[in-house]
Chains A and B, each alone.
Chain A
Amino acid sequence: MATKAPTQTEFGEVSRIKGIVFKYVSFVASIVGILALGVLLAYVFWDALGLESAGTGWYLAYTGTLLVPLLAFFAYARTRPEVVAGAFELFSLTLAGVMLTVASVIILSIIASPAVWFAYFLTVVGPLLALFVYGQYEREATWVGLAMLLTLVAGPVVGTLGLGILTTLGSLLGSPGVYFLSLVIPGAALAAFLAAERFDASRRLSLGIGVALPALAVVAVPLVDTVPAISRSVWLIALVMLGLPVGYAVANTARTRERRSAFALPVIAVAGFLAGGAIVDAIGATKPSPWLDWQYLTSSPSISNAAEAGLYPAIIGSIFLIVLVSVFTFVFGVGAAIYLEEYAPDNGVLGTATRIINVNISNLAGVPSVVYGLLGLGIFVNIEAQLGPLTYGGFGVGTVFTAALTLSLLILPIVIISAQEAIRSVPSSLRQASYGMGATRWQTIRNVVLPRSLPGILTGTILALGRAIGETAPLIMIGAATTKFSPPAGLFSKLTAMPMQIYAWAFLPGEDFRYGVVAAGVVTLLIVMLTMNSVAILVRNKYQQEAN
């Protein structure tokens, strides 16, 4: 080929060069976006963690103790998919546990006081849990579903009416007592249940786990008291919210022989961190001064002093939003998906209506988010409507409730579409079998369709929530505050959220803000999203494994 003139092509001649060049060009094209984002992320992490100021000794110490062993572990795990799966599960469940703990501490002891939480636990959460457990064991009891719905409606009313008495009861118990009763006991029951059902532990062992968890909670109290940073309440919450996911991951990894070497990852991480810290102290190397630190997460924002600026009100606002949005979208999204897949007729006039609804949902998913902001502004903020004796005046400018409703409408189409796909993937032979045994349509949905499609639904919902937590434009449109110095106090007070705070800071000209404070905010937001996405991937992988 090289002997011929390149311009002359003869019959039957093919050019290898062209093919090879094309292959590499298309390969480069497929990684160029990823690389660009990777470089940008590296920059922002570098800035947020203040790595520039670290000395050479610091880098050398941590390279030796942490980076090299980690790379060696990755090289070892590369060809062992079981180890990768185990390590991923340990990593993401630990991260998720930490997030859950932080969110629970904030929700249970800062947003709602322990006494108020106790009141609603007694009237809403407790009865719901009890009914659910009863329904799982007593399949004959068909009234359980309706009773749960009724509790959901009546419970809050009863709780609000009896708030005075119940909060007194709660304060008599003290906050550790409240958490012990409302979190540790149900958590112990859940752990025992998981041990028996998931891991086929013997009856005695699962009972032992169920007893050991509350015992540990109490026995460790003197030890916890010696650490001033951790109060007894935080210890109890963390035991359940962090201990259960980590315990699950550990048990699941230890169960399979091939997976056990995945434990090397946490060992390397912790040991490397400690060893690195010890070496750095010993040689006196300069440590980095990160922008993203405890002070940053717990302070109010500042627009003048970068060193004191923090993200605290925005974090609380985002947690408020994510909780409300997940409740709204899960209920309505899954409900709509079940109707469209299981009930809606697909022929005749009503069939056309079903098709229109489906087309409508996919078009709603393509509407720009800023237009949803206008929708929220139009129907939740600036509205005056007279409905008989009731006047509906919206839910206020930029309040938590308005923002949650607007974001829910925004991600609802995405949740519906992914839930529909999950429901569609349940084989219809299973439905037929259920009908053949005399089950009604709702019984089939509840006992056959929903359990099979739940992992797919959860994956889609978590991914959509990840989108909601990063949305800014709709919040600006409904008048959420860009900078707020205190967290929202209730559903109808103004809020700010993490992306709003980033937007507000990004225009400040100071170098400290540009490359420090904002970068730390971006990293916080990205870590939250990373956790949510990896939990979603974990759920999906688990589902695919079980389906095979």
Chain B
Amino acid sequence: MSSEGQTPDLSGDRGFRSVRESAYKYALAGCAVLSVLTTVSIIAVLVLDASQFFAEYPILEFLTGTEFSPNLEPVSFGVLPLILGTLLITFGAALIALPIGVLTAIYLSEYASKRTRSVLKPMLEVLAGVPTVVYGYFAIVYITPALNAAIGVLNGALGTEISRLGLFNGLSASVVVGIMIIPMVSSISEDAMNSVPDSLRQAGYGLGATKFNVSVTIVVPAAVSGIASSFILAISRAIGETMAVVLAAGSQPPDIPPVQQAFGVPYVAPTDILSLFTESSATMTVAMIDIASGDISGGSTAYKSLFAIGLTLFVITLAMNVVSDLVARRYREEYE
């Protein structure tokens, strides 16, 4: 404090005291710098090793290649199948988590009593706290058989011919990743809805709106920036999710579906995309785990490709986190 100089010094150990004060200050500053060092070394490690990989394997082929087979000769490191796998699982998870998360947030902030909220909120947090390897185990051991049984019932009842799920499949991975990112959507969205001032709600009631109208047409639009940022964060988490997908989705990257032509317009048949969910659908994270459990002694091209994939993953998730932050800031409705 600057006022310290004016206080009369009665203790007589001023020299020792000021040395001690600055010693503590610099020791603590050192701790804070550690976080900056972490970021710097993440970027340095990823960029340095990835550039070694790109010296051996052209960056264009990495980004546009449609084949990923690091172990079979001839090796190829096209990242597109992995990105397709990531997109599939993330899309499936988002389909589950985003609507459920927003409805949960509306219920918690608008409808639930204080007591209900105090019970539900910690229980929702548990969903994000269960280790992801446990979710992966649930997916292969309980969820895939359950989904297969459901498909069997569906086929019997409707006469459709949906193919059974493989031992490793994208659908069960999507389900568990979806469950684990629900709290991310619900807690951030609920915070945004809670910060909508009550005067807006009262104005709505004053105009004769029902609680449903107030929730859907006043609170949700007013909190839309928070909801959007929660969506982006949750999707970013799903993209980076590793162990649940490693166990549930298997290590085979999905085949890129053929592009068909109809009246000169290229398209991909929706059934082709849906059928990808029934098969193994490795993501970027799965490919990294797969390579790392094979060989991490360093030197091989496959080892270096780890860092190239890691860099891609890091850039995607970092960009999404930054965008989410910007959305929350830029489009926040100011009320006060």
Contact = CB atoms under 8 A, between A and B. Distances in A.
B45 A374 contact: yes
A441 B111 CA distance: 46
A364 interface: yes
A37 B7 CA distance: 60
Interface stretch (A251-259, A286-294, A409-417): A409-417
B210 A363 contact: no
A313 B240 CA distance: 29
B107 interface: yes
B41 A375 contact: yes
Given A25-B103, A363-B318, A412-B35, A19 B212 contact: yes
A533 B128 CA distance: 13
Nearest to A445: B24
B313 A473 contact: no
B296 A336 contact: no
A30 B104 contact: yes
B133 to A, nearest CB: 5
Interface in B100-128: 100, 103-104, 106-108, 111-112, 120, 122-124, 126-127
B25 A343 contact: yes
B142 A412 contact: no
Given A340-B32, A370-B289, A470-B131, A33 B182 contact: yes
A367 B42 contact: yes
Contacts of B100: 29-30, 32-33
A469 B132 CA distance: 11
A135 to B, nearest CB: 14
A172 interface: no
B137 interface: yes
Contact of A441 (B16, B21, B127, B138): B21
B38 A409 contact: yes
Interface residues of B, number: 97
A440 interface: yes
Most buried by A among B17, B112, B208, B240: B240
Interface stretch (B241-249, B252-260, B262-270): B241-249
Interface residues of chain A: helix, strand, loop or mixed (majority): helix
A396 interface: no
Given A335-B27, A369-B242, A370-B242, A533 B129 contact: yes
B167 to A, nearest CB: 9
B136 A370 contact: no
B99 interface: yes
B133 A502 contact: yes
A27 interface: yes
Contacts of A34: 120, 123-124, 126-127
Contacts of A14: 208, 210, 213
B41 A379 contact: yes
Contacts of B216: 22
A5 to B, nearest CB: 20
Contacts of B310: 370-371, 374
A199 interface: no
B96 to A, nearest CB: 9
Contacts of B313: 368, 370-371
Contacts of A15: 210
Interface in A42-99: 43-44
23 contacts: A19-B211, A23-B107, A26-B103, A29-B100, A30-B120, A37-B126, A331-B31, A357-B35, A366-B236, A367-B42, A367-B314, A368-B313, A373-B288, A375-B42, A375-B45, A378-B41, A378-B307, A471-B131, A472-B242, A473-B246, A477-B289, A499-B131, A518-B141
Interface in A295-318: none
B60 interface: no
A467 B129 contact: yes
B131 A525 contact: yes
A368 B182 contact: no
A360 interface: yes
Nearest to B295: A479
A339 B29 contact: yes
Given A26-B106, A30-B124, A442 B24 contact: yes
Contact of B133 (A331, A377, A472): A472
B83 interface: no
A321 B8 CA distance: 49
A336 B292 CA distance: 32
A30 B186 contact: yes
What 10 A-B pairs are tightest by C-beta distance, nearest first? A368-B240, A470-B131, A335-B31, A378-B45, A29-B103, A339-B28, A30-B104, A19-B212, A26-B107, A336-B31
B36 to A, nearest CB: 6
- For chain A, the bracket of interface size reads 35 or more
B242 A360 contact: no
Interface string B217-257: 00000000000000001001101111100110000000000
B35 A364 contact: yes
Interface in A465-514: 466-467, 469-473, 476-479, 482, 499, 502-503, 506-507, 514
B27 A378 contact: no
B297 to A, nearest CB: 8
A18 interface: yes
Interface in B10-26: 10, 13, 16-17, 20-21, 23-25
Contacts of B132: 470, 472-473
B61 interface: no
Given A336-B32, A366-B233, A477-B288, A29 B107 contact: yes
A331 B31 CA distance: 8
Contact of A27 (B16, B24, B111, B297): B111
Contacts of B30: 335
Nearest to A33: B182
Nearest to A471: B131
Interface in A326-349: 331-336, 338-340, 343-344
A502 B135 CA distance: 11
Contacts of B27: 335
B131 A33 contact: no
A366 B321 contact: yes
Interface in B62-119: 99-100, 103-104, 106-108, 111-112
